[in-house]
Chain A
Amino acid sequence: MAESLAVRRANILERQPEAKRGSAIERVQSVLQGFAERDPEGEVLTAVRRFPARAAVHADWPDWVTPRLRDAYVAKGIARPYSHQALAAEAVHGGRNVVIVTPTASGKTLCYNLPVLDAILKNDDTRALYLFPTKALAQDQLAELYDLNQRLERGDGAAQSFGVFTYDGDTPSDARRAIRERGHVVLTNPDMLHTGILPHHTKWTRLFENLQYIVMDELHTYRGVFGSHLANVLRRLKRIAKFYGSNPRFVCCSATIANPGELAERLIEDEVDVLSANGAPAGEKTFVFYNPPAVNRALGIRRSYINESSRVAQEFLKNDLQTMVFANSRLHTEILLTYLQQANPQFPGTPETIRGYRGGYLPRERREIERGLRDGRIRGVVSTSALELGIDVGSLDATVMAGYPGTIAATWQRAGRAGRRSGSSCAVMVASSAPLDQFIVRHPDYFFGNTPEHAFIQPDNLEILVNHLKCAAFELPIAPEDRFGDVDVQDLCARLAEAGYLHRVAGHYHWTQEAYPADAVSLRAVTSDNFIIIDVTGQPDVIGEVDFPSALTTVHEKAIYLHGGEQYHVEHLDFKERKAYVKKVDVDYYTDAVRHTQVRVLEIAAQEPSSVAHPAIPALKAHGDVLVRSQVVGFKKIKFFTNENIGDGRLELPENEMHTTSYWLTLERELVAALPFTISERQSGMFGLLHAMASVATLLLMCDGRDLGTAIGERPPKPGAEGEEFRVVTLEEARNAVNKEFFEPNLYLYDAYPGGIGFSEPLFRAHELLLAKTRELIAGCGCDAGCPSCVGPAGDLATRAKEAALLILERLGA
């Protein structure tokens, strides 16, 4: 798995002959060499990959491009487009829906700006809507378009150019009218489209009557819940466009994922051309995986990845290499910033050369930091994902990622912040001890090979769909012929009418509520059923909210709730009013809810032998509809750092029932009985296997650990039947569940959202890959008998859990 020392040395030492002594590239090499020398075993630097520089492939400007526009680009320093830009622009110009898949800094904005602006210059009525997942990205794109606009204005005496505006929550209300009238290009985000534009479409008649292009950048971020919502927002958008007589084309841009075309087609529900060529040049880049040294190998405890990240970053900074450090939370950003600033003290009175950057900083401060990075005054920056996407900060020499960013796509985007286009650069990913991090860092080929990451959405999730159907009815009455996804719209409308939301007159359903439905629908959650968290340490203050399912496990009474790096003790949970009252505390433990989950299969959508090659292996894979009933029965207090269990408590919380979709693996009796272990070892092996499978699944699905739930239950005799009776259990029973023998267990991985969010069927399809990668994860883990990185913490499981899990996988033919 880890590369040999020789290979790594060779990779480091190979250098360009013309590199000057003391140049950035030499300094990068010397830093890396330093790391390698301190790690003769190759346990720390698990991969050093060198990506050679790539030359540009140019093409001619398409002949339809308005000369003035071409001149403006030439004046910007773009003499000719790259081959992929010309190709993409051609496809968009030709009226196709496209998804453009190219790495960071390959000039994808030209792919859509060229045909869109050309259309505007040829016909002043043309309108385009650009969607970005964040406000900051829209701002950045605005600057680029302003620049082009100015060049166009200078081009010839006639001041014909185009109007470009951002429209988001920060847009002053007096500017909004001008934007609606004069904005040829309106830059916004899905949330604003959902609550601010669509429900007020009569104010945007000019836009909707002439809407020709919809550009969606960072398409891969529209997955899971967010993507499922967006697909419905787009259904609403298309309905309104049709009402005004327009039929816009879609231009999507995505980072590299395995299924960009599929995702785009699911989102826009139309055919899409996938363009994945890349003619952009790239500088030489070295990518390094850094696994902090083990402190206690048996327990799988490693040195703090935060400290190690800080150390790596300091090495770069010491060598005067401009460095960007990414942390996965605001808290870690602040910690790393403190470490780095302390290590690089400033002369009093001179401006700080190492800065933090994250949401919550003021826009002006952010712009100042971006400028400082571009002109080199700022040598180091510590950021959250805020700087991951598109913001132009020039090219840096090195990036350090404190922890795996969660997806391969995001990792490449972060790495892409160093060495955009030319020059040599280095990216270091420092792994935490989380299972995903450990898997990636030990399986570099998984990361550097063809990406296995798929983005999935489920636009027909009923809860989401019905909420958007309400919004749609508010926007335009629902006509008998209206379509909205694959569901029976008329039936749903009749139900909404019954519940008092709609009223049917002459075949059309009209909105009959005072409320504005879009306000109650957040694009980031399935239901708007949230608990508000109120800090009552001093003056009561609302500090956040959690959705219903998480509330039961995170803000039950006596829980330690972590927020913004502070610990809070939950004093009281008002279940009826959906409020949790918390007080600030400083304790050395956190709490972990003990949850008892039972799954009942309602309907099997598909069921097949686990192994295609060996159908005789006594195991099945399946997916379908399930009912999940979970109950939080108690909680454990876990000490920080040592993870000792220092006490527990009983809880009486209402059960939570959820209808969702699930993928599951059935181990038939024959397989279970043949396992040479004690009952409790077998059981532990199954729980451990499921733990590891869930980790790998989040990797394949580009989702968060919270998006998937796990449970093991007895295989029901037939769907819908009571496999096991749902019943209330006590804390003791829940804790001992691991020792109860299953006859023929089902291992469930279910979508943790009511109605399902589209993970189950893909997992069913990827079943064999999932098992193979799970085996790699467990087998590749250096721990003795299980650790949080593979089958789960050793203390919770029987001693041979890891061994048992591996044997099950082997018997499954993985």
Chain B
Amino acid sequence: MASADKFSRLAALRPVNGMAPREVRTSAPAPALDEHESELARLIGASVARTKFGTHLSVSNWHSTPELPDISAAALDLLCNHGDAVRCRKWRAAAENPEKWLFLDTETTGLAGGTGTYAFLVGIGWWDAGGLQVEQLVMRDFSDEYSLLTELAARIAERPVLVTFNGKSFDWPLLESRYLMTRTIRVPQLAAHLDLLHPARAVWKLRLGSVRLVELERHVLDAPRLGWTREDDVPSSQIPQFYFDYLRGGPATPLAGVVRHNRMDLRGLAALFGKLNSLLGTPHHPDGEGLDLFGLSRYLQRRGQAGRAESACAAARDRGLPEPVDAQALYQLARMAKRRKEFARAAELFTELLEDPQFCAAACEELAIFQQSRNKDPRKALEFARRGLREARRRNPGAMLRTGRTAEFSRMARLEKRIARLEARLAPVDAPLLNRVREAAR
């Protein structure tokens, strides 16, 4: 009795939340596995693929949409712009040939990462016959993993340029980890890895809030027009549980839904490339929402394309931006002008910003600098500096108590110094005395 009690009371053995312990005792007769597996294969239209490490399921489908777009060199330049110059060049050269591209998206047993998370479904796709060829590799259980990974390695060797959505921080490191865990199959070498998450987030986050692939499909890729529907799509959060259920002899139908979901994601990914290709590739932006263009401008700026960033920013303002973002765009334009050493133009734009409550203090500081060092008018400079400090204090009373170390706080410190310097210069006799008095008071 004692030992039975021991186990039943263990908190660590308590069944997982929300999951009724299933009657799949190891000692109980195993469900007819072959039947179970063939049901899955039938539902998803898969065949059994064989490698030297065993077997796994494989599903092939060809889709007429999306179509292979005209690949823009400028877009590739941007997408390959990662890390050091040597790697950029290597990636750029490898990406030149779209026949070497492999779109990739995985479905996994969790999002936490680490060595206990498996990619039980790996979807890959490539341009073929003007459309997209999709192949999906599925593990019926964990013993299929080596076979699946071997197959995937062969596919990557044929097409070593990976195109993913968030694959750089999720799918690929996870797969690398899976390869390392085999201790036998080498990690495939990539010639380049184009991840679309960052440009997509930069461009559409402002407008859409969320840049999940499903959202992008609906709002950016115009999915309904392509005739794509996500009706009956499985919710992403349930995918791991569907797989675990299937492993324990549960129904194959939900898992078939996951395979469909993965295929949709791969098509979405390829279509997203097309959209980014045109957006990043064209110097002028005849269409597109103001917010998207402003996002694009920020992305271009981060990637070191100041000229294009500026024109996108100006185009964004022409197209019309909501109030606070417009001020932000104006501020960016002013700073870009300043960086180009067009000081008068920059001053003009900063003056426009004086009306904006959010940017007034920053603009004042810039104008004080301009008046002092370009226009050689210390009085005006002092005026702006004082106004800037007043504004900054008004907007950020907490900083007076030294409670935060915000950018605003350091701006105030800079302005205080500038005011002191200017005052000293404008009142040469009194200022030192004043300063000493201040010093003493402190």
Q: Please say whether chains A and B are actual partners in one complex.
A: yes
CB <8 Å contact, A201 and B115: yes
- Encode A475-516 as 1/0 by CB contact (under 8 A) with B: 111000000000000000011111111011110101111111
Q: Does B9 contact A (CB under 8 A)?
A: yes
> Which residues from A are CB-within-8-Å of B109?
511-514
> Which residues from B are CB-within-8-Å of A516?
110, 112-114, 116
CB <8 Å contact, B114 and A474: yes
Tell me the chain B residues, 16-48 only, with Cβ under 8 Å from chain A. Answer: 16, 19, 21-22, 24-26
CB <8 Å contact, B115 and A475: yes
- Encode B191-221 as 1/0 by CB contact (under 8 A) with A: 0000000000000000000000000000000
CB <8 Å contact, B14 and A499: yes
CB <8 Å contact, A500 and B21: yes
Task: Tell me which of B130-138, B173-181, B416-424 binds A.
Answer: B173-181
CB <8 Å contact, A659 and B115: no
What residue in chain A is nearest B248 (Cβ atoms)?
A503
- Encode A737-770 as 1/0 by CB contact (under 8 A) with B: 0000000000000000011000000000000000
CB <8 Å contact, B141 and A527: no
Cα of A462 to Cα of B24 in the assembled complex, Å = 24
> Which residues from B are CB-within-8-Å of A476?
115, 181
Interface residue range, chain B: 35 or more
Cα of A205 to Cα of B115 in the assembled complex, Å = 12
CB <8 Å contact, A477 and B10: no
- Encode B1-12 as 1/0 by CB contact (under 8 A) with A: 110011101111
Nearest chain A CB to B23 CB, angstrom units: 9
CB <8 Å contact, A474 and B115: yes
CB <8 Å contact, B11 and A529: yes
What residue in chain B is nearest A495 (Cβ atoms)?
B13
Tell me the chain A residues, 158-216 only, with Cβ under 8 Å from chain B. Answer: 199-203, 205
Q: Does A466 contact B (CB under 8 A)?
A: yes
Q: A512-B109, A516-B116 are in contact. Are A500 and B22 (CB under 8 A)?
A: yes
Q: Does B111 contact A (CB under 8 A)?
A: yes
Tell me the chain A residues, 451-488 only, with Cβ under 8 Å from chain B. Answer: 462-463, 466-467, 470, 473-477
CB <8 Å contact, A474 and B116: yes
> Which residues from B are CB-within-8-Å of A511?
109, 116
Q: Does A720 contact B (CB under 8 A)?
A: yes
Q: Does A708 contact B (CB under 8 A)?
A: no
Cα of A365 to Cα of B142 in the assembled complex, Å = 52
What residue in chain B is nearest A196 (Cβ atoms)?
B114
B112 touches which of A467, A498, A515 (Cβ 8 Å) = A515
What residue in chain A is nearest B243 (Cβ atoms)?
A512
CB <8 Å contact, A527 and B12: yes
B143 touches which of A463, A497, A498, A505 (Cβ 8 Å) = A505
CB <8 Å contact, A498 and B248: no
CB <8 Å contact, B2 and A602: yes
Nearest chain B CB to A200 CB, angstrom units: 6
Q: Does A722 contact B (CB under 8 A)?
A: no
CB <8 Å contact, A202 and B115: yes
> Which residues from A are CB-within-8-Å of B2?
602-603, 625, 720
What residue in chain B is nearest A518 (Cβ atoms)?
B114
Cα of A462 to Cα of B248 in the assembled complex, Å = 26
Q: Does B241 contact A (CB under 8 A)?
A: yes
Q: Does A382 contact B (CB under 8 A)?
A: no
Q: Does B228 contact A (CB under 8 A)?
A: no
Cα of A127 to Cα of B142 in the assembled complex, Å = 32
Nearest chain B CB to A237 CB, angstrom units: 14
Cα of A495 to Cα of B9 in the assembled complex, Å = 13
> Which residues from B are CB-within-8-Å of A658?
9
Q: Does A517 contact B (CB under 8 A)?
A: yes
- Encode B222-249 as 1/0 by CB contact (under 8 A) with A: 0000000000000000001100100110
Nearest chain A CB to B132 CB, angstrom units: 30
Residue of B2, B10, B109, B114 most packed against chain A (CB within 10 A): B114
- Encode A514-548 as 1/0 by CB contact (under 8 A) with B: 11110100000001110000000000000000000
Nearest chain B CB to A521 CB, angstrom units: 9
> Which residues from B are CB-within-8-Å of A513?
16, 109-110, 244
CB <8 Å contact, A499 and B21: yes
Cα of A755 to Cα of B22 in the assembled complex, Å = 27
Nearest chain B CB to A443 CB, angstrom units: 40
Q: A202-B181, A512-B247 are in contact. Are A503 and B142 (CB under 8 A)?
A: yes
What residue in chain B is nearest A521 (Cβ atoms)?
B12
Cα of A200 to Cα of B143 in the assembled complex, Å = 21
Q: Does B15 contact A (CB under 8 A)?
A: yes
CB <8 Å contact, A496 and B13: yes
Tell me the chain B residues, 125-181 only, with Cβ under 8 Å from chain A. Answer: 141-143, 176-177, 180-181
> Which residues from A are CB-within-8-Å of B12?
462-463, 466-467, 470, 527
CB <8 Å contact, A510 and B142: yes
Cα of A504 to Cα of B142 in the assembled complex, Å = 9
What residue in chain A is nearest B247 (Cβ atoms)?
A503
CB <8 Å contact, A477 and B5: no
Tell me the chain A residues, 700-730 only, with Cβ under 8 Å from chain B. Answer: 720
Q: Does A655 contact B (CB under 8 A)?
A: no
What residue in chain A is nearest B110 (Cβ atoms)?
A514
CB <8 Å contact, B21 and A203: no
Cα of A451 to Cα of B290 in the assembled complex, Å = 77
Q: Does A689 contact B (CB under 8 A)?
A: no
Nearest chain A CB to B126 CB, angstrom units: 27
What residue in chain A is nearest B118 (Cβ atoms)?
A510
- Encode B73-84 as 1/0 by CB contact (under 8 A) with A: 000000000000
Sample of 6 A–B contacts (CB below 8 Å):
A199-B116, A503-B247, A503-B248, A505-B143, A516-B112, A517-B116
Contacts A512-B247, A516-B110 aside, 17 further interface pairs with beta carbons under 8 A come to A199-B114, A200-B177, A202-B177, A462-B10, A496-B13, A499-B14, A500-B15, A503-B141, A503-B142, A506-B143, A508-B142, A510-B118, A511-B109, A517-B116, A627-B5, A659-B9, A754-B11
Residues of B within 8 A of A (CB): 1-2, 5-7, 9-16, 19, 21-22, 24-26, 109-116, 118, 141-143, 176-177, 180-181, 183, 240-241, 244, 247-248
Closest 4 CB pairs of A and B: A474-B116, A514-B110, A516-B112, A466-B12
Residues of A within 8 A of B (CB): 199-203, 205, 243, 462-463, 466-467, 470, 473-477, 494-501, 503-506, 508, 510-517, 519, 527-529, 602-603, 625, 627, 657-659, 720, 754-755
